[in-house]
Structure 1
């Protein structure tokens, strides 16, 4: 008898519900867009109720598609969740949304972070929590609300993440998982909540609002009657705690232990590696791993596929209106393949890997350049930004190959750019829904389908596509990119 598992994966633009067989093969998918609210500079928000209804719609679509595909009614044995990390989804003491959620692209707290950098708070946080705060971190957002919206701050009942809000809507129980508990207020050595960390940010009154911490593969609750009526799921189905989406992507791509470096070209530039001991560095986040005694180091910036989406929405409306938009755009890329790669793109539209608020830029544009040249530069700039992070995590280049997932990885042209820009072998799993699969693996572990993380990785593994680097192809462009980034950062400081 086939066992079915459902993984929910909610990114910054689309929420997906994917039904898998226990071997990791996809049965059916439902998805629904979730608009971002960007009505003020630096604010990138989400309506929490609209988000929950989008989740429910995606679940209904997946169940309907699965019934059609299998010729009978299909119901998952367990469900789990993944969602964009960082940002904050607040609920009040009655369990109702407390205003719009702040997503991980939100930068309203930039000035607060700059103040913490200046007064030494950030360095103390690095030593205590394994990471320096950044604008979308819960620490920074909560400090912003405390200073600017004290009534809202006083009404906080629970501090949730995206996936925690989804699970709360499914089960009525507030909790978070072991990995995401460590985004701001966990002692990096003990891997537990730290009163000292809360005091460091002057947020001690938030101690009781921090949700209970469960392991990702624990049953965190069961589908309520209300959620069942809205989603079509059976009441009482177990819901596993789940994972921050970038960790879920790594798990879904077969990365559950040290050795392989995972690169996720999603909205954020995510670059991460599991480690067996806590190792801190100013340019990466050291957070809890899948279980006690494991950590992961993650070097990130909000400067990956989100900037590609922006470029296409601004310059390629003609292509996006056709039946084959990427076919048209690929033809433009092919037409400039033999032209020098002169244009440099810094993909810093929503933030950068630098501590100051460096803006994005095109550099080196000429009158004879066209959209193909600019699109190629966008792809190179995104890949170079990932390389910036990967070289921080692995400066000695001990990892010869990288596991690449995310939207950009699905296009062979851009996957090859990553190999050339990184000057490392790139492996791309054929599984497209790695985030949802990582969540589904949590569901399978929670009900005993898999014996452990390694067993789940083996039993759900897909074949990989491999891209070999051309060491010389983008070598000079990488040097120019680094110099441009340094120059723009310095210029921005002056002006």
Structure 2
């Protein structure tokens, strides 16, 4: 048995696989970020540690002890840990926007682009650099208490094995030289974060190594000590591995909390627009060119809550409206951190247009789903797709939405083998590192193929062109001086009379 752990933004999952890649058991616990208002999103690291122990014990209950454990999960955010791997207060989620002003300053001064020209990674508000800058200014004492500015999967590895390390995928953004695969001191200098260098965990070369489950890890999970545990790569890299993306030019769309549109490449290109990520694969000559838009399932969750519906209503609502959403159009940029792909703008905001008294809640939901499909097309084209394309993620469970994406792209979508594509990829890398032989083709066999409906090509071509037009118009309005004059931040509103 091989155990894969996926530490998602909203769920912690453990999936147990047999030698042929069949998933025998999945255990899950909810562990969502908590909103504290004003765009602040935080998570309790100790809560996640306990959830990991519970799902590992449940997935393995009554079955043979796994030969290896692979961990993947959400990246970015700021997971400050002490010397023993315990949280220094609540972790700052990658969804948090307190890094916005620091990123905007780097953009204005040209630092943002200069960093991209060194490593092919566009910094965004929820990544290490802006959050470190914000913490240095607002909570320097808390930062001083920390021994490691960790990533979530690496913090879990430390609690299970005692190892303080990271892998090249998580470290890629923002501080890594992604060709030499080590920290770039010049990037730290440009960002004014040299004083944080001691907080960065050592980077493991190549696919890294596995570490034995220690006594604390055994007590947490109920598994025996000594099982090799491997952490990495993080989910944006683990998913294409689990989906069978193996040749340069092939791609994957992850319809998750993030809409990640990714292409496997064999060289680092920093000459284009300063946008997206260049993430190290376990192989030294491969990278994932990722356009991780903030417009994924969190956008769908928002519109569903607005119209009083749930995920189980999605397919029915999409069927109630018609292609083109009866004239309703949407921009799906509802995150308080703005957008990070295929452009970077901390002021990006969503909109709904074309509304009338005849508009239904089904039209609203469909317009948002169509806008996400158009965002996926723009992102996957920007990432440089030339080969086959796969799809995975929670949003792909809606066959209607997945077919909408295929229609918008006018490309067939291979549905990645379910369940738990990220955990599958983590398990595969763990087997590679430990030296367990397995059939990669069997492990990544697709569930099927969603063919685009050619009769809808013209409609979606026009819809995509209109989407691009309204994005460009909105980008100008986001930066209008009048926007600032008419917007009063909530914290500056006058107090009500007593």
Q: Normalised by the size of structure 1, how large is the TM-score?
A: 0.91
Contact 1:216/1:243 (CA < 8 Å) preserved in 2?
no
State the distance in 2 between where 1:60 and 1:237 align: 14
Contact 1:252/1:457 (CA < 8 Å) preserved in 2?
no
State the distance in 1 between where 2:216 and 2:314 align: 45
Aligned with 1:61 (options 50, 58, 61): 58
Give 1:473 deviation, angstroms.
Answer: 3.5
State the distance in 1 between where 2:314 and 2:267 align: 45
Confirm or deny that 1:255 pairs with 2:238. Answer: no
Matching residue of 1:386: 376
Confirm or deny that 1:407 pairs with 2:394. Answer: yes
Give 1:253 deviation, angstroms.
Answer: 0.3
Contact 2:148/2:200 (CA < 8 Å) preserved in 1?
yes
State the distance in 1 between where 2:323 and 2:237 align: 38
2:327 is paired with a residue of what secondary structure?
A: coil
For 1:3-152, list aligned pairs within 5 A. 4-64=1-61, 67=62, 73-152=63-142
State the distance in 2 between where 1:114 and 1:329 align: 36
Matching residue of 1:488: 474
Q: CA offsets, 1:299-321, max 9 Å, x none?
A: 1221111111222233234xx4x
Matching residue of 1:303: 295
Matching residue of 1:337: 322
Contact 1:48/1:100 (CA < 8 Å) preserved in 2?
yes
Matching residue of 2:443: 460
Matching residue of 1:185: 175
Confirm or deny that 1:231 pairs with 2:227. Answer: no
Aligned with 1:273 (options 260, 263, 267): 263
Confirm or deny that 1:355 pairs with 2:344. Answer: yes
Contact 1:130/1:187 (CA < 8 Å) preserved in 2?
no
Mind listing any 5+ residue stretches in structure 2 that lack a counterpart? 484-498
Q: CA offsets, 1:148-200, max 9 Å, x none?
A: 21112222211211111121121121111122121111123322111111111
Mean CA deviation greater in 329-338 or 170-179: 329-338
State the distance in 2 between where 1:87 and 1:340 align: 36
Change (3 A) 1:339 1:148: closer
Change (3 A) 1:382 1:216: farther
Matching residue of 1:437: 424
State the distance in 1 between where 2:177 and 2:209 align: 25
Contact 2:14/2:55 (CA < 8 Å) preserved in 1?
yes
State the distance in 1 between where 2:160 and 2:472 align: 46
Contact 1:22/1:449 (CA < 8 Å) preserved in 2?
no
State the distance in 2 between where 1:92 and 1:133 align: 25
Contact 1:131/1:286 (CA < 8 Å) preserved in 2?
yes
How many residue pairs align between the two structures? 471
1:415 is paired with a residue of what secondary structure?
A: helix
Give 1:216 deviation, angstroms.
Answer: 6.6
For 1:149-160, list aligned pairs within 5 A. 149-160=139-150
1:279 is paired with a residue of what secondary structure?
A: coil
Give 1:392 deviation, angstroms.
Answer: 1.1
State the distance in 2 between where 1:303 and 1:133 align: 17
State the distance in 1 between where 2:218 and 2:386 align: 48
Contact 1:223/1:234 (CA < 8 Å) preserved in 2?
yes
State the distance in 1 between where 2:129 and 2:238 align: 23
Q: Normalised by the size of structure 2, how large is the TM-score?
A: 0.90
Change (3 A) 1:338 1:84: closer
Matching residue of 2:488: none
Q: CA offsets, 1:249-293, max 9 Å, x none?
A: 111101134131111111111111222111123122223222222
Q: CA offsets, 1:57-113, max 9 Å, x none?
A: 21122123xx2xxxxx32111101001112121112343211211222122101100
State the distance in 2 between where 1:423 and 1:347 align: 21
Matching residue of 1:376: 366
State the distance in 2 between where 1:142 and 1:17 align: 30
State the distance in 1 between where 2:412 and 2:98 align: 38
Contact 1:256/1:457 (CA < 8 Å) preserved in 2?
no
Aligned with 1:476 (options 442, 462, 476): 462
2:203 is paired with a residue of what secondary structure?
A: strand
Q: CA RMSD in A?
A: 1.9
State the distance in 2 between where 1:135 and 1:303 align: 15
Give 1:484 deviation, angstroms.
Answer: 1.6
Q: CA offsets, 1:366-425, max 9 Å, x none?
A: 21121211111121111111112112122xx633x3111111112210111101111222
Give 1:338 deviation, angstroms.
Answer: 6.7
Change (3 A) 1:456 1:148: farther
State the distance in 1 between where 2:323 and 2:393 align: 27
2:252 is paired with a residue of what secondary structure?
A: strand
Matching residue of 1:70: none
Give 1:247 deviation, angstroms.
Answer: 0.8
Mind listing any 5+ residue stretches in structure 1 that lack a counterpart? 68-72
Change (3 A) 1:486 1:467: same
Change (3 A) 1:247 1:361: same
Give 1:329 deviation, angstroms.
Answer: 4.2
State the distance in 2 between where 1:210 and 1:139 align: 11
State the distance in 2 between where 1:98 and 1:113 align: 24
